[in-house]
Amino acid sequence: MSLEGYSEEFLNQMQSDYELYTREEPAGFKRSSDVRKQLHKAEDVKKVAAQVISKLGNFVYQWELCGGFRRGNTMVHDGDLVVWLRYDPSPDTMLSFQHKLTEILKDQSQQGNIKFMDEELRKEEPEEGKEKKKRKRKSKRAAKPKECKLYRFWYNHIPLEINIAKTEQQFEVLKFIRTGTAEFHRNLLIEAQNMGMTIRFSHDDSLDMDLFGLYGAVRSWVTDKKGRRKSSWIINPARLEAWRERDIIEKVLGEYVEPADRETYFS
């Protein structure tokens, strides 16, 4: 899809919206350029992911290995897992899940094969250091959804991510987002905004609620403290157009695009 004819302000806003639901390299993780040089057989990544899921047992209601694996690539950089938890707020399943994840990876940690990338799992860090890194990341990206947890680590020398969902709606939107590709998401978002809709998987401070899916939205313009004019999208949470992966794609493009076809769909 060509971006010719779009204003610079529109494209900047597009990038801002796009960054709301794309991954960012966490503090302490290997550099992106280093990780991208390492490729692993998709079948090996699937095997390792299945081992971790198996050890998590009854915590997992449903899971999907996304990213390049789901798009049919034979070689991938990491394992991008989306996990729908059997969640019970009392007792807090997230705390139990975190404890279980730490326990099953303890041997890997002792062998030096694992490196936790989630702040809550990095107990060895001084409090001051953690606060500094939190502030640094916050300045670069939108706040993560309050209901979403992300764990990054190495297991059997393969980098894995576990993206946590507590509901089917979160699971479906996360599955869509984590399958990629970045170019497919970017162009689909442009199409959606041209139709008066936008995609969200984030916490809306003004509404004080998490938004997951494709919503009706109106574009508005605001001026920041430096006098720069920027666009933003005002979302109507009552206008949830779609939240299942298939429905989101079909609503915007008029047809479903299989994961294997998403790399070339807009070419």
* CA 199 to the chain's CA centroid: 13
The answer to whether 150 touches 162, Cβ cutoff 8 Å, is yes
**Domain spans in the chain, listed from the N-terminal domain onward:** 23-179, 182-261
Position 118 scores a pLDDT of 43
Place of tokens 């500094």: 132
Position 119 scores a pLDDT of 39
Position 221 scores a pLDDT of 87
Position 2 scores a pLDDT of 47
* CA 155 to the chain's CA centroid: 20
Four-way CATH pick for 23-179: 3.40.47.10, 3.30.460.10, 1.10.287.610, 3.10.250.10: 3.30.460.10
Residue 80's nearest CA partner among 176, 168, 223 is 176
Give the dihedral of Cα atoms 156, 157, 161, 162; nearest 10 deg.
10
The answer to whether 66 touches 178, Cβ cutoff 8 Å, is yes
What does each of the 267 residues of the chain score in pLDDT, given as a tens digit? 445 555 555 555 555 554 444 444 433 334 444 545 689 999 999 999 999 999 999 899 999 999 999 999 999 999 999 999 988 877 788 888 888 888 877 766 655 555 554 434 443 333 444 455 455 444 444 444 445 678 888 888 899 999 999 899 999 999 999 999 999 999 999 999 999 999 998 777 888 888 999 999 999 988 888 888 888 888 999 999 999 999 999 999 999 999 999 999 998
The answer to whether 155 touches 48, Cβ cutoff 8 Å, is yes
- Cα separation, 150 vs 76, in Å, equals 19
Return the number of other C-beta atoms located less than 10 Å from residue 181's C-beta: 17
Phi, psi of 138 (to 5 degrees): -60, -30
Q: Which amino acid is at 77?
A: H
CA 131, 137, 138, 142 torsion-angle sign: negative
3-state secondary structure 39-98: CEEHHHHHHHHHHHHHHHHHHEEEEEECHHHHCCCCEECCEEEEEEECCCCCCCHHHHHH
Residue 46's nearest CA partner among 84, 82, 79, 75 is 79
Position 30 scores a pLDDT of 46
